Amino acid sequence: MTLTSGISVRHVNAYHKTNSLLFQFILSEFLDVYTEIQKLQTLMDSKLIASPITRNHKIDSVLALASLEKLVGSSRDYMRFFSTNFSDGLLAKLRTYCAVFIQNADKDEKELMALQHYADKAWQACLQAMDALYGDPSEHVFILSSIDKAVAAMNRFAKLIARIILQFRDDENVIFFILRHKTQFNKLYGDRFILKTFTKMYPKGLREVHLLLSKRYTERGFDNVLDAIRLLIAELEATA
């Protein structure tokens, strides 16, 4: 059996044996994808996207293509809806990770299925936007519409991620990943997102987060990360 991106399930599972690690991969790709989606949102709001094939196209089109190529792959490969190249764009990787995440679940999870659905929708919309950018300049409205669909899909994806994170309160690896990337998460969700999220997960606050991470990593022999944990927690406490 193969995934939508053409990657063998058995092959991928060899690298992602636990949902903990897999969810970190999803979070990592999500942060990169959402950053590019926000760039497209800014371009869409400017209403200045022009076709790159016109002689005097605006810089906004160049920026839009740069983001779209990061999301769905290079311009040479963007029309291949079922790419066999695992590195073809951030969204291709995100879709693959989500598909494996669903397969690893003990039962059908509506939130996980929705996660895959919105990753697929964003990918398809970005493909359509790139296609239109290389097409007729009169497709200006369609370009904006496609980008709008991609933005909407990733906004829904982001809301699901925020809810799913809460399920990993006992997983020190996921929590440490979130802590290390707190600046990126706060930039995407809002300045106090991580602080609010940890408050929901840990009734005793950041002290409980600190104790959990310190205890777990000490038990596993990773004393070298304790100073980093202490510093990151102190930075969060300063914003409380």
Which helix (H) or strand (E) is 9 found in, with range? helix 9-13
| Dihedral of the alpha carbons of 28, 145, 42, 64, in degrees to the nearest 10 | 70
Q: Where are the domains of the chain?
A: 1-167, 169-240
pLDDT exceeds 90 at position 150: yes
pLDDT exceeds 80 at position 10: no
pLDDT for res 57: 43
Average pLDDT of the chain is 82
**DSSP assignment of 72-108:** H--TTTTT-TT---TTS-HHHHHHHHHHHHHHHSSS-
pLDDT for res 81: 46
Q: Which two tokens stand for residue 81?
A: 């809806």
pLDDT for res 54: 44
- Over residues 142-169, mean pLDDT: 93
> Whole-angstrom Cα distance, residue 93 to residue 90?
5
Top-tier CATH class for 1-167? mainly alpha
Prediction pTM value: 0.82
